[in-house]
Amino acid sequence: MEIVKTKDKEFLDLVMSSLRPNENSLSRISDVNRRSLQELVRYLTKLKSDTIIDDKLFSELVLIACANYIENEVESRISNSIDKRIMFFFENLK
């Protein structure tokens, strides 16, 4: 019976270690996401000022870029929240 409990504990430790996020991982992802949006908007602004794209296309591309930014932020926050809840669940099994 003790062997089963040891195996269960090893399994739970393995699961916990795989779920445990790196320190500041959410803020690092958010920072990269923000900088990517900033660089893309800067590039689109340059294309617009060089008359390579018109106002309508510029607006549409900025809208798509912002939608992608928001989607990435929401996805990373939800993922982080789910990871925390799973970790809490497994910690309570010990």
Q: What is the mean pLDDT of the chain?
A: 81
* Per-residue tokens: 77: 């926050």
CA–CA gap between residue 51 and residue 10 (Å, rounded): 61
CA distance to 43, 88, 94, per residue, from 16 (Å): 41, 9, 11
pLDDT band at 25 (very low <50, low <70, confident <90, very high): low
* Domain limits for position 81: 2-93
% of the chain residues with pLDDT over 70: 71
CB atoms within 10 A of CB 72: 17
If one counts the domains in the chain, the total is: 1
CA–CA gap between residue 94 and residue 89 (Å, rounded): 9
